[in-house]
Amino acid sequence: QKEVEQNSGPLSVPEGAIASLNCTYSDRGSQSFFWYRQYSGKSPELIMFIYSNGDKEDGRFTAQLNKASQYVSLLIRDSQPSDSATYLCAVKRYGNKLVFGAGTILRVKS
């Protein structure tokens, strides 16, 4: 079992719809969770992090964490073609080391 698992996609949504990206993790002791966005051929950039159970909102993005079920999700409201990218879920280990999932490809169709 991989430490961080994501559906590789691609996930296709129409412009203006809500995109829902999911991630599960195996280490029940994990405390910090991150979503990075990576455009094709570019380096990842952090868009959200969450530590506590529940929802965290930042603009069009909402991160959701459920530690009991060991999953974290990212919702993107009013999806735009510019949101088309690979979204990487990452979980923090001891010592500020991050373990990354393989990423989900999101395609927003105009």
Partner 1 sequence: DGGITQSPKYLFRKEGQNVTLSCEQNLNHDAMYWYRQDPGQGLRLIYYSQIVNDFQKGDIAEGYSVSREKKESFPLTVTSAQKNPTAFYLCASSPRDRANTGELFFGEGSRLTVL
What is the binding site for partner 1 (CB under 8 A)? 4, 8, 32, 34, 42-46, 49, 88, 90, 92, 95-103
Contact 83, 108 (CB under 8 A): yes
Minimum Å gap between C-beta 99 and partner 1 is 8
Cα 39 to chain centroid distance, Å, stands at 14
Q: Residue 44, preceding bond cis, omega within 30 degrees? A: no
C-beta of 76 vs 105, nearer to partner 1: 105
Short-list 34, 32, 73, 48, CA closest to 65? 73
Output the smallest distance, CB 81 to partner 1, in A: 23
Nearer to partner 1, 8 or 26 (CB): 8
Task: Give me the least distance between CB of 75 and partner 1, in Å please.
Answer: 20
